Amino acid sequence: MATDNGQANVDLDENLHSRQLAVYGREAMRRMAGANVLVAGANGTGVEIAKNVILAGVRALTIHDTKNVETRDLSAQFYLTEEDVGQNRAEACRDKLQELNNAVAVSASSAELSAEYLGQFQVVVATDASLEEAKRIDEICHSHQPPIAFVRVETRGVFASVFCDFGPSFTVYDVDGEEPHSGIVASVSSGNPALVTCVDDERLEFQDGQLVVFSEVVGMTQLNSHKPVKVKNCKAHSFELELDTTGFSEYVRGGIVTQHKEPKVLSFKRLGEALESPGEYLMSDFSKFERSPLLHLAFQALDAYQAETGALPRPGVSGDADKLLELVGSLAAKQTDKVELDEALLRKFASGSSGELNPMAAMFGGFVGQEVVKALSGKFSPLHQWFYFDSAESMPDDILPAAEYEPTGSRYDPQIAVFGRSLQQQLQSLKLFLVGAGALGCEFMK
């Protein structure tokens, strides 16, 4: 049988997913276990996302790519080896992804991303698509019935961008994943508003404006069957109901009051519309408050640069950075709200844009993996709709001489493109001792 979003109802292996069940709950896990997910782009970020989604326990995942493995892919894509060079990137890593969870059907594809092909999925993630291609895919996903959740992610050196479109009407069944707060009723007054007092063994956690429901009340039994009621004037052991209880039976004893969590419906804009009207950005560092509007333009300019020249800016080449700055300036001039241009930051962005770094891939593989889980489960508030990140302070203060960025033909060329040869040589001479080989330890080691 299919659910309302086209997913199949399945039985859960509670031993395999015991920890996730504790976080997401059975209903959310069932939604995930019936889902089919597409990750388009088997670069470092794409494989990190695929890894996390497979471990989460979806029904099926397809890793898609039309590119062949190059030596530089080995820098961030940890499932590739030198023997894979020349093979299709998705095909080269499919078997290793499958080993993560045999309960998930993992397949590789290089098929055309047509509307018919995309229609079989509940979530589509694009990690290596041009802006025009991403807009085309998002249009298909947004218009599909039911809508297909779409996520676009880019990592460019130490800069990253994430966009989410979960359709025109997406329901979040539980916005925070917390257990509903509750209290034991000691008394309820007759009046408008009604005053509810609870036993003083524990402090109440209700907040003004929240909804509550009652059960097991003796006497004023009308409360037990009443629809959720809004609370106000919440204190440590009491609160008021926005309800007239004058005509109710007299309260006698007992009762449990429990927070009622209402589903929240979110409306997402299409990518093309959200580019022009991005709304509020998710912030990760409030010391960089003005950074997101600038990076919003910078990533668009980078896509325009690549479309025009057929390549990304070369590391340390000032002429390439000048062209990107010109493109950003043109976009900024069209904005209603003024965007301050930070030339030094944009030159760092341009210089390192051709390098994909494994730590960035790991970080955003985790971030986007969680957005996929939110899209499938309806639990926790999703990204709505843009997130930009940078760690520009990790780069040298000034752009290094061009010779520092010269490629060596090795797997480390993307790191050299961001940090330079000298730092790469320092890294290769380090000896590290890692204590603990759990999930985090293995991530650090990778």
Percent of the chain with pLDDT strictly greater than 90: 81
227 or 437, higher pLDDT: 227
Has residue 3 got a pLDDT over 50?
no
Has residue 17 got a pLDDT over 70?
no
Q: What is the pLDDT of residues 61-105, one digit of tens each?
A: 999 999 999 999 999 999 999 999 999 999 999 999 999 999 899
Has residue 29 got a pLDDT over 80?
no
Q: Which band of pLDDT confidence, cut at 50, 70 and 90, is reported for residue 441?
A: confident
Has residue 8 got a pLDDT over 80?
no
Q: What is the pLDDT of residues 389-431, one digit of tens each?
A: 999 999 988 999 989 999 999 999 999 999 999 999 999 899 9
Question: Which pLDDT does position 5 carry in this prediction?
Answer: 46
Q: Which band of pLDDT confidence, cut at 50, 70 and 90, is reported for residue 2?
A: very low
Q: What is the pLDDT of residues 364-387, one digit of tens each?
A: 999 999 999 999 998 899 999 999
Has residue 233 got a pLDDT over 80?
yes
Q: Which band of pLDDT confidence, cut at 50, 70 and 90, is reported for residue 16?
A: low
Structure tokens given for 113:
């991303």
Question: Which pLDDT does position 381 carry in this prediction?
Answer: 93
Q: What are phi and psi of 216, to 5 degrees?
A: 65, 20
Q: What is the pLDDT of residues 140-162, one digit of tens each?
A: 999 999 999 999 999 999 999 99
How far CA 145 is from CA of 6, 115, 242, 285, in Å, comes to 9, 12, 39, 37
Has residue 39 got a pLDDT over 90?
yes
- What does the pLDDT average to over 231-255? 95
- What does the pLDDT average to over 233-245? 95
Has residue 132 got a pLDDT over 70?
yes
Question: What does the mean pLDDT of the chain come to?
Answer: 92
Q: Which band of pLDDT confidence, cut at 50, 70 and 90, is reported for residue 443?
A: confident
Question: Which pLDDT does position 179 carry in this prediction?
Answer: 85
Q: What is the pLDDT of residues 207-224, one digit of tens each?
A: 999 999 999 999 999 999
Question: Which pLDDT does position 111 carry in this prediction?
Answer: 97
